[in-house]
Homo-oligomer: A and B are copies of this chain.
Amino acid sequence: MFKADLKSDTLKGLVNIISTLIDEVKFTIGPDGMTLKAVDAAHVAMIEMEVGKDAFESYEADSCEIGLDLDKVKGVLKLASSGDIVSMEQDDTHGRLVFKVGNITRRMNLVDTATMNDPKVPQLSLATSISLMVDELQKGIRAADTISDHITLRAGPDFFELSCEGDTDSVSLRLEGSSLLGIEAAEEVRSMFPLDYFQNITKAIPAGTAVTVELDSDYPVKLVFALADGAAKVRYLLAPRIESD
């Protein structure tokens, strides 16, 4: 059994994040909320998401799994205005999830979750931690475009830098002081990442969201942030590209 109401904006925020990696998704549902673990087809990035029942306007559920096609959920979201409530209810008899938005009823076939295994999330302890508004990352990403397919993140005790090196041109965004919300770095670290992945996740995070970037040298980067006024927590892990010097 699963029956929940939530704001269309909340659902949209979650769907935007997940669909940077995958099209079909399995939610593991319990009485206190739902969780999701997903890895993209190329195994370059991974998302871990916890959505507490506080993220919902109303929430009632037993333990179950629900598989959804995110493109169809996006279709439902197009029918909702900002501020609308989206109701979801599992229809056990037909293996469907029934969405209601105002006087519209949308019955959606569920995706079979039998073959969708949860990826194993590596436990990483990364040397550096930087907190900043996602808007700064988005600015750095815009600057990086067209210079290179990679982006280098670098942090030291008092700065965080995004940079791109092309054959002839380069661009960098250096953040320090009040441009950062906080930084913990004993020494300088740097890693390089695929620009497209970093761009997609950065664009999907709503402007005005605080993000913690955990970084180390030639290690994955971890982005940690909250959605739905803190009721949904997201960890995003992106594998590094090895630099050829």
Contacts and interface: CB of A to CB of B under 8 A. Distances in A.
Interface of A: 72, 75, 78-79, 96, 102-109, 139-140, 142-143, 145-146, 168-175, 179
A145 B103 contact: no
Contact of A169 (B72, B103, B175): B72
A80 B107 CA distance: 45
A105 B169 contact: no
B75 A107 contact: no
Contacts of A78: 142
A59 to B, nearest CB: 24
A9 B233 CA distance: 41
Given A103-B174, A105-B171, 16 more contacts: A75-B146, A78-B142, A79-B139, A79-B142, A103-B173, A103-B175, A104-B140, A104-B143, A104-B171, A105-B172, A106-B143, A106-B169, A106-B170, A107-B169, A108-B169, A109-B168
Most B CB atoms within 10 A — which of A96, A102, A106, A145?
Answer: A106
B75 A172 contact: no
A173 B107 CA distance: 12
